[in-house]
Amino acid sequence: MDEIIVHKFGGSCLRESQDIDRIFEVLKKSPGTPIVVVSALWGMTDILLRAAREPRYAGRLVEDLKSQHLRFAPGLEQGPFGDLFVKVLNGISTELVKLSSEDKSLRSENLILAAGERLSALVVAHRLCESGLSAHPVGAEDIGLRLKGSGRATKIDIESSNIWLNREVLVGVPILTGWFGQGDDGEIAILSRGGSDHSAAAFANLMDAKKIILWKDVDGIKELNPRWGIDTKSIPYLGYGEAAELSRHGTPVIHPATVDPLVKKGIPLEIKNITKPNKPAATMIGPDISISSIKAIGCQPGVAVINSNAPLHSDLLSRLESADVTAWSLNSTPEKMRLIIPSSELYLIEDLVDGTIEHHSAMISIIGPIIGKIECVHEIISTNNNGTRLIVNCDDIPIMLENLHQSLFSRQDCK
């Protein structure tokens, strides 16, 4: 069998019907044996989330979903995947009724949210078959992909999935759903938003893929997140550790758990722009190598620093884990504790906090070795092989980042 290449197409690659023609061209020209992982159509997850949270107002949702997906794949309802298409739509209706009654459950909400990926896989598979590829939709949960956790999960259980995954169904060009699988309780579980990148990386591990390509509508990972309105270069290469650190603090391009399944087997990851399919990868991610220059600056606005004169207690630790709160730093001794988290997540644990809370402008993560002085008011939180984390205070984050980027990158350019 040819070497396997996993292709992940996110929602940004599924905005318009003609986007599937691009996917066909990519797969037709791709060497090796392709395995495809898809997200829901652009904006679909937000629609389903609103419906699941307010089912009484869902109204014509199912008919609207049907119409929108048939615009992408005319004839789907009468084609070989028509019965599955109708089954998924009927399932949404059933779970919305349950959520509107007293029979509310996280399972119903998860089934509704997962339907976006299921419908997308059907649409893509139908169109690719019409174009001449032997494509077929495959639900990750249905073939034994296992997640760590119940209901909502943080990552895929590679060891358990390696045992239970039914690889025999992955023939032709399988179109796999990302983002969900079977949880510890045997019911459907979903990952955090953007988690289908992690799903694709897990499939790359489980299938011993040669590489994984994340198809986006952007030119790789930038030195600064474009959200700050500052134009910077794409980063040609990131080590696994650097990519993981930057994904936590500075880039929306990959999910924080994406690289975890790739490390042990050394599977490389490429980020390519779907609008420029013939160009080389804008960013490559692979084994960590020694670096002598700064590669990127990550920034997460809003920091809460909790100081307590008591050690971390079990109730708070349990809440941090169950609520999936991002602990950027946690230090606890028998006499005191210091915990640093995003301000936006403080409400999840505030009732268990016994101590003072300080608020700061942002957490900065500088990827690579720092040369000279950091020219902003800051406190260094941690330093490791992948970078340095700082807490900063400023009146204008974009201006601070622009000045920091200019000083750090120009300084190393002058070496």
Domains of the chain, earliest start first: 4-286 (3.40.1160.10), 296-413 (3.30.2130.10)
DSSP 128-155: HHHTT--EEEE-TGGGT-BEESSSB-SE
pLDDT for position 77: 96
Tokens of 334: 């028998």
pLDDT for position 412: 61
Place of tokens 């990158």: 409
- CA distances (Å), origin 197, targets 10, 203, 213, 271: 8, 10, 10, 11
**Global pTM?**
0.91
pLDDT of 76-121, one tens digit each?
A: 999 999 999 999 999 999 999 999 887 778 999 999 999 999 999 9
> Mean pLDDT across the stretch 369-392?
85
Determine the Cα–Cα distance for residues 49 and 58; give it in Å rounded to an integer: 10
> Mean pLDDT across the stretch 23-36?
95
CB-CB contact of 153 with 147 (8 Å):
yes
pLDDT band at 1 (very low <50, low <70, confident <90, very high): low
